[in-house]
Chain A
Amino acid sequence: MKTKSLLKLSLITALIGTFFIIILADNLEPQVIQIININEKTLDQWVKVQGIVTNQRTVDSLNIFTVYDGTAGIRAVLRRKIPETAALEQKEVEIIGKVIDYKGEFEIEISKLRIIK
């Protein structure tokens, strides 16, 4: 096969791949789940929850929130420092993270946190 033809074909497929990425790039994140539905089945799964931060405390670089979405509350842990001014109590947040079992209770290990309002 001629090199030019191979390169042309590669360019076309690279563009096709990019096109599919553009389409698929939306909705990458998990669907929102109600906290009341977090159970053994969701253990080790990645979830997205939206709710109000009812409690916040910091222990060293560990930020511990309690998030309530109207159905139930859950502890969510963020293992990195955030600016001290970022007090999130009573703010509505969206959390993406992994459901883990900590001393018999479910909590979310936060990967991504976004303030909604």
Chain B
Amino acid sequence: MINIILAIAIGIIAGTLTGLIPGVHINLIALLLFTSSAFFLNFTTPIMLAIFIVSMAITHTVVDFIPSIFLGAPDTSTALSVLPGHKLLLKGQGYGAVKLTVIGSFFGLLIALALVPFFIAIMPVFYPFLIKAMAFILIAIFVFLIMKEKKKFLAFFIFSLSGILGIATLNFTLLKQPLFPLLSGLFGISLLSISFIKNVKLPEQKIKNIKVSKKQTIKALGASIFSSSLVSFLPGVGSAQAAVISTAFGKLSRKAFLILLGAINTIVMALSFVALYTIQKPRTGSAVIISKFLWNFNLQSLLLLLAAALVAGSVAVFITLALARVFAKKIVKINYKLLCIVIICFISILTVILSGWFGLIVLLTATSIGITTSIMGVKKMHMMGALLFPTILFYLF
């Protein structure tokens, strides 16, 4: 029992660190753990390592909106939060923006856990159908998004351009960790570059709630559970695609969108462990590593991991709000222009370390597309073509 609590505690600490540092992903830590598992198994059991990974993963999904919103440095799953988060940051509501994602993560986790019996019963039945239908679902969403846009041609242009970049990047065998420079460029550095050029100054950050209507909140949570449950069980799709699918449920305010993104991020992670149990297919890096550790991944193991997820997610609420408070107070004391430069340099260096020099080319190209999108006045959502286009092709062929 004490061992389990210790595993959860260490997992929460690890998840907090990985969540705060852009570019450091839980998959990296999980992989390191796996490669050194022979050493760790001298002191503990596989289930404890699995509990550590789950706790780290869930905590990460809550905390990682902090760098995304305050620093404009997202990872794969938080890329779409950069723009609405940044807009709220510029209004002095950075803390409120993070809190919205925390609300989404927390309630999303609770709803997902409550629906686990439903998923266990239904998923094996619907899974073969979903595999066949996924390409058409994504195509329908893409068409829907373009048709909703006022500048349809430009939106289609941006979607296609991003899509071509996505395909080229993801198929570039010399490039390791392709998603990092791709999404950092499209959503992170492009925004920071614009902030730098416009000489943005951050206003005083207020530590207060942002009000979102109950209707919008329920809509956001409902959309998130539906889209997350689709992608959690399927290969090649994740939080980013789930966010795009959710837009089909109707217009959400910027603030409700942050709740949606928070919920999706955590639900997708939590349900990936359920997918491991129901269809014996791991859908996230963490689930892959757990599948290699765990003996007889039975219902009891799953329930134990989900209980750990609940504890970790709950504690992550405290940690994230406390850290958001710190960030909100400190960030205004920093020269934001200088901060933009530092983050851009940091991401660039990280790109070279993770993806090599070719990664820089991807980063520059993606940044150009991101800046072009802003100048054209087209929604940044269309840049998700970088992931959607390859995913559609994956399912079609």
Please list the residues of chain A having a beta carbon within 8 angstroms of any beta carbon in chain B. 1-3, 6-7, 9-11, 13-14, 16-18, 20-22, 24-25, 27-28, 30, 45-47, 79-80, 96, 98, 111-112
Contact = CB atoms under 8 A, between A and B. Distances in A.
Interface in B275-309: 294-296, 300-301, 303-304, 307-309
Contact of A1 (B45, B103, B308, B314): B103
Contacts, number: 83
Given A3-B99, A24-B304, A98-B295, A17 B314 contact: yes
Contacts of B396: none
Contact of B310 (A13, A27, A79): A13
Contact of A20 (B310, B315, B317): B310
Contacts of A98: 295
A10 B317 CA distance: 7
A68 B309 CA distance: 40
Nearest to A112: B45
B209 interface: yes
A27 B300 contact: yes
B355 to A, nearest CB: 34
Contact of B1 (A3, A7, A16, A22): A22
Nearest to A21: B307
A37 B375 CA distance: 69
Interface string B314-341: 1101100100000000000000000000
Interface in B25-42: 38, 41-42
Contacts of B4: 21, 25
B151 to A, nearest CB: 36
B interface secondary structure, majority: helix
Nearest to B39: A80
Given A3-B321, A111-B41, A14 B314 contact: yes
Given A3-B99, A14-B314, A24 B296 contact: no
Contact of A10 (B1, B209, B308, B318): B318
Contact of A6 (B45, B103, B304, B308): B103
Nearest to A12: B314
Contacts of B321: 3, 6-7
Interface of B: 1, 4-5, 38, 41-42, 45-47, 99, 102-103, 106, 110, 209, 294-296, 300-301, 303-304, 307-311, 313-315, 317-318, 321
A10 B41 CA distance: 32
B369 to A, nearest CB: 37
8 contacts: A1-B103, A6-B103, A16-B310, A21-B308, A24-B300, A45-B295, A96-B295, A111-B41
B80 to A, nearest CB: 22
A21 B317 contact: no
A20 B46 CA distance: 19
Contacts of A18: 5, 307, 311
B311 A1 contact: no
A30 to B, nearest CB: 5
A14 B315 contact: yes
Contacts of A24: 300, 303-304, 307
A28 B50 CA distance: 12
Contact of A17 (B295, B301, B308): B308
B41 A21 contact: no
A79 B41 CA distance: 10
B300 A28 contact: yes
Contacts of B42: 80
B329 to A, nearest CB: 15
Contact of B295 (A13, A14, A30): A30
A80 B40 CA distance: 11
A35 B257 CA distance: 56
A1 B209 contact: yes
Nearest to A24: B304
Contacts of A28: 45, 47, 300-301, 304
A116 B46 CA distance: 22
B10 to A, nearest CB: 15
B303 A20 contact: yes
Given A3-B209, A28-B47, A111-B41, A13 B110 contact: yes
